[in-house]
Structure 1
Amino acid sequence: MQKSEQLLHYIESLDVGTRISVRQIANSQHVSAGTAYRAVKTAQARGLVATIDRVGTVRTDPRPRSTSAQLTFADLVRVIDGRVLGGSDGLDKPLDKFVIGAMKTSAMGHYISRNSLVIVGNREDAQALALESGAAVLITGGFDTTPEVMARANAAALPIIATSHDTFTVATMINRALSDQAIRRDILTVASLYTPREEASFLQLPATVGDYRSMAKASGHADIPVVSVSGRVVGVATSITVNERKDAAPIDRAMERHPAVVKTGESVATVNHLMQGRGLNLVPVVDDAGLLIGVLTRATVLAQLQETPEPEHLPATIADQLDATLSPVRPLLGGTAAYRVATAPVMTNKFGALNVGVLNGLVTSATSRYLRDNGRQNVLVDNITLSTLRPIQLSARVTIGLKILDLTRHGAAFDIDVTVDDVVAAKALLTCQLLERN
């Protein structure tokens, strides 16, 4: 076995979530830093390790354990552009739900469960309670925490993450990410079905036709990938390609060269189309470097596609919920359109005023609603500048009035007035792109 393969086996033997480094591998395996670096890069290409901002390189699972995608705390860090303050060993844990800690600690315990995420500000008592209950912590507003809380997070392997965003904005981002993950659950990919290299049958050069026949008889598979000394896929041997060949013949003269290969991110529907179109019973699964990481058989694909689970009704996102609070009213004087807002307590901050993040979302939803109602379905907001003139209380009568500054085939600009009891409380300038489907 080559040294590079020995290093890859060493990396595979590490527990998922273990932090690794080039220096650590070089020292423990007695190899040069260059050799260790190349092994880490190969492992990264195979999905065995990943680099996480502000954490480092960690051992990861190259394929999901099931077809249902789950958001992990490491994913969360990327979604909200967060900083990991402690508990980095638990970044691979799944995020089941999130709780906004906007109540006294005496009332919070009932709502916190293990592997949940508690979103709080600079409240060390609430942070400590969350960790004691087995939950991770997300600190909003750009605040840090105390060394004692960080030590608890490290001991419990529960991430404690900081972000500069406010609570509502973070909740919106997480809600959207959870919704996206639920949608991905229906997009079955090769990653969830393929047989990994360690469990698959393959031949390595220099092999012979006799080696193929022995392996085919033992495995029950007639199609067997052929790889080079470095592990790169160079062909596929089949019962047709070896027909009438002598056992001593080299396999590289009795195989299909340049075979079809797939990668882990490709959809199973696409692979099924490929297999049917070319009459393939097996395709090698490769990484970005063309190295064999597993195989996928047509029988496995067909068995999965024959399953017809009940369609899942996805929960409404926060953006959808905000859109539902808008109802059209007669336009304001000189306006183009206007929408009344049905406010709710969850939209307010601790002072009882409408949260600025909520107001941003309402303005965006009102603009998108107007454009959709006028036949422009695909709206991408470029920029929104919001200026608040006075706080908006929960009991106020809030109206969002739109004035068109520019409307073309490809873009639009709006001047927006947010009025409270007919008095302007906020103004916004919003520009967006109008995308057309091909």
Structure 2
Amino acid sequence: MATKHEQILDYIGSLAVGTKISVRSVAKHQHVSEGTAYRAIKEAETTGLVSTIERVGTIRIEQKPMSNIDSLTFRALLKLIDAKVLGGSAGLAKRLDKFVIGAMTPDEMLRYITKNSLVIVGNREDAQRLALQNGAAVLITGGFMTSDNVIRLANQMDLPVLQTSYDTFTVATMINRALSDQAIKQDILTIAAIYTPLSDGVQTGLADQTVADFTRLRAGRNDFALPIITPTGRLIGMVTRKQVAGKKGTTLLERVMAKDPLTVRPYLGVTAVGHTMQGRSISVLPVVDDSWQLLGIVTRSSVYSALAELGTNSQGTTIADQVAAQMALVTPAPAEGPAFTLTTTPMMMNKLGTLSFGVMSEVVNYSITYYLNQKGRRNVLIDQLSLHAFRPVQLESTVHINVAPLEVNSHEGTFDVSLLTDGLLVAKALVTCQLLERTTR
């Protein structure tokens, strides 16, 4: 039977998007204390069922689906540009794809307005209405207000009308940066893209099942971990062969399961999860949401397969990409190991006009990763990097990077890296890294 807490969450989830709720109203409807209602509403906010908006209140919103791309929404803009909501608050969870500056005639603007776009305007009600009628949200700059008719239309269309005191140029710059950051996030592979959901036949067990049930479920499978859930789908434990070894067939799984097991969230990066699984010799991890509802499982083989298939092409917009673009391999390579050259650019400098310590670290990272990639080791994760800088490196200097492998085995590598300019040692690094490789187990 579902708990009161779960019943309240189910009730909130059944409300229409845009419904305003309060602790008092939920407590009265569900016949619970206000404290119980408050805790459930806070969890609903954490899981994306509701949102609390200043001067509006707590409203039921469209819950964002789990995916490998954390979309930029209109709600995210509120804090980014210090905006407030004038109308259409039920549409704050909608995705923002692009923005249009309303500095043209309505006929000209119409060509550029698309669904999921944002029209940035001042006190032009004709442009505001045109945007809403064509599926776009509105951002009013300069602190201007709008009419009740526009706000009424925004509420009908579930499209936000936002207001900010910033000028058009400033908010356009800020939003453009946010969209650029979002494009980078799209290249980061997360667990959401590779895990096996419950709907694909993931087997689960209940606490009152037995060891004999576990044995039956794992028949014909060499490596098997069984998530144990409540009748409502909340994860409460994991059972593996190790837990049931030597136990009677009638023993309840509740007595042998590992309680509070290690879990992963869909938004975690695949590389970080692979590091954890290899370091702890874990073959299967349960995937849960923020309220511990089981979503599925992820296996170590699927993590390594995903890492092996990652493309090497990128958008060239991250600091790592910009550093890599300036690295050149020295040929033929010295006998002790590979060597590279780097020509410093203004982007790499700190405020004192010398090479940034962070850029030095990225240079070391790139050098080792490149060397191991050429040796067929595709998935490299730096564990420790001890970097010592001895001399400042000036703008437009040429840095020579020498990589000396100290020890490389099937799972780890240790390297000594030297950075020189004009024949003088400017920095030295000792690096250890993990090599995340697919296993056959």
Match of 1:239 in 2: 241
Deviation at 1:72, TM superposition (A): 1.2
Code of the residue aligned with 1:156 in structure 2: it is M
**8 Å CA contact retained: 1:52, 1:74:** no
Q: Within 5 Å, give how 1:31-430 maps onto structure 2.
A: 31-55=32-56, 56-61=58-63, 63-64=65-66, 66-194=67-195, 201-213=203-215, 215-216=217-218, 222-226=224-228, 235-257=237-259, 259-286=261-288, 291-298=292-299, 299-309=301-311, 311-313=313-315, 374-375=353-354, 377=356
Cα separation, partners in 2 of 1:233 and 1:306, compared to 1, 3 Å: same
3-state SS of paired residue (1:171): helix
| CA apart distance, 1:68 | 2.9
Q: 1:301 to 1:51 in 2, by over 3 A?
A: farther
TM-score of the aligned structures, taking structure 2 as reference length: 0.64
Q: Tell me the distance in 1 between the aligned counterparts of 2:156 and 2:128.
A: 14
Looking at structure 2, the residues matched to 194 and 15 of structure 1 have their Cα atoms a distance apart, in angstroms, of 30
| Structure 1 vs Structure 2 CA RMSD | 3.8
Task: Provide the C-alpha distance between the structure 2 equivalents of 1:17 and 1:125, rounded to a whole number of angstroms.
Answer: 26
TM-fit CA distance, 1:274: 1.6
Residue identity matched to 2:69: S
Deviation at 1:237, TM superposition (A): 0.4
The amino acid that maps onto 2:96 is L
Q: Is the 8 A contact 1:120 1:137 kept in 2?
A: yes
Q: Letter of the aligned partner of 1:100 in structure 2?
A: I
Tell me which moved more, 19-28 or 74-83: 19-28
Take 1:11 and 1:140, find their aligned partners in 2: how far apart are those partners?
A: 34
Q: Give 1:263 deviation, angstroms.
A: 3.5
- Comparing 54-63 and 112-121, the one that deviates more: 54-63
- How far off is 1:189 after superposition? 2.8
Alignment CA distance shift 1:201-1:81 (3 Å): farther
Distance 1:14 1:311, change over 3 A: farther
Task: Show CA shifts across 1:151-183 (max 9, x none).
Answer: 111111111100011111101110111111111
State the Cα distance separating 1:79 from its structure 2 match: 1.4
- Post-superposition Cα deviations, 1:12-48, rounded to whole Å, max 9, x if no partner, equal 4456665544344334444443332222233334444
Q: Displacement of 1:142 after TM fit?
A: 0.8
Q: 1:193 to 1:85 in 2, by over 3 A?
A: farther
* CA–CA separation in structure 1 for the residues paired with 2:10 and 2:197: 13
Alignment partner of 2:36: what SS? helix
The alpha-carbon distance between structure 1 residues 315 and 166, as it changes in their structure 2 partners (threshold 3 A), is: farther
Q: SS at 1:144's partner residue?
A: coil
Q: Tell me how far apart the structure 1 counterparts of residues 26 and 305 of structure 2 sit (CA, whole Å).
A: 41
Q: Matches of 2:54 and 2:61 in 1, distance apart?
A: 14
The one-letter amino acid paired with 1:307 is E
Matched residues in 1 for 2:282 and 2:18: separation? 37
| Unaligned 5+ runs, structure 2 | 323-345, 359-391, 393-428, 430-441
Tell me how far 1:209 sits from its aligned partner.
Answer: 2.0
SS at match of 1:119: strand
Alpha-carbon distance in structure 2 between the residues aligned to 1:232 and 1:115:
34
Shift of 1:78: 2.3
Deviations 1:251-275 (A, max 9, x none): 2442345533234443211111222
**Structure 1 residues 280 and 144, CA gap change in structure 2 (3 angstroms):** same
Percent identity of equivalent pairs = 46
Q: Using a 3 Å threshold, how does the CA distance of structure 1 residues 219 and 170 change in structure 2: closer, same or farther?
A: farther
1:336-386 superposed Cα distances (whole Å, 9 cap, x missing partner): xxxxxxxxxxxxxxxxxxxxxxxxxxxxxxx9898569225489xxxxxxx
SS at match of 1:114: coil
Once structures 1 and 2 are overlaid, which stretch shifts more, 165-174 or 293-302?
293-302
Q: Specify the SS of the correspondent of 1:297.
A: strand
What code does the residue aligned with 2:353 have?
Answer: N
5+ residue gaps, structure 1, are 321-366, 380-408, 410-437
Q: Report the Cα distance in structure 2 between the residues aligned to 1:191 and 1:51, rounded to whole angstroms.
A: 26
1:189–1:312 distance in 2 versus 1, CA, 3 Å:
same
Name the aligned partner's letter for residue 161 of structure 1.
Answer: L
1:9 is matched with 10
Once the two structures are TM-superposed, the CA of residue 74 in structure 1 deviates from its matched residue by 1.2
Deviation at 1:276, TM superposition (A): 2.4
The CA deviation at 1:248 is 1.6
1:62 Cα offset (Å): 5.5
AA at the equivalent of 1:116 = S
Q: Is the 8 A contact 1:116 1:136 kept in 2?
A: yes
Q: Residues of 2 paired with 1:11 and 1:214: CA distance? A: 38
Counterpart AA for 1:279 = S
Structure 1 residues 16 and 148, CA gap change in structure 2 (3 angstroms): closer
**C-alpha contact 2:101 2:119 (8 A) present in aligned 1:** yes
Q: Name the CA distance, whole Å, in 2 between partners of 1:260 and 1:300.
A: 18
Farther off after superposition, 109-118 or 227-236: 227-236
Does the aligned pair in 2 maintain the 1:20–1:59 contact within 8 Å?
no
**Offset of residue 140 of structure 1:** 0.3
C-alpha spacing 1:252/1:72, structure 2 compared with 1 (3 Å) = same
- Answer yes or no: is the 8 Å Cα contact 1:136–1:158 preserved in 2: yes
Secondary structure of 1:305's aligned partner: helix
Q: Which amino acid aligns with 1:304?
A: A
1:241 positional shift: 1.9
Q: Is the 8 A contact 1:205 1:229 kept in 2?
A: no
Shifted more, 184-193 versus 146-155: the winner is: 184-193
Code of the aligned partner of 2:190: T
Give the deviation of 1:132 after TM superposition.
1.8
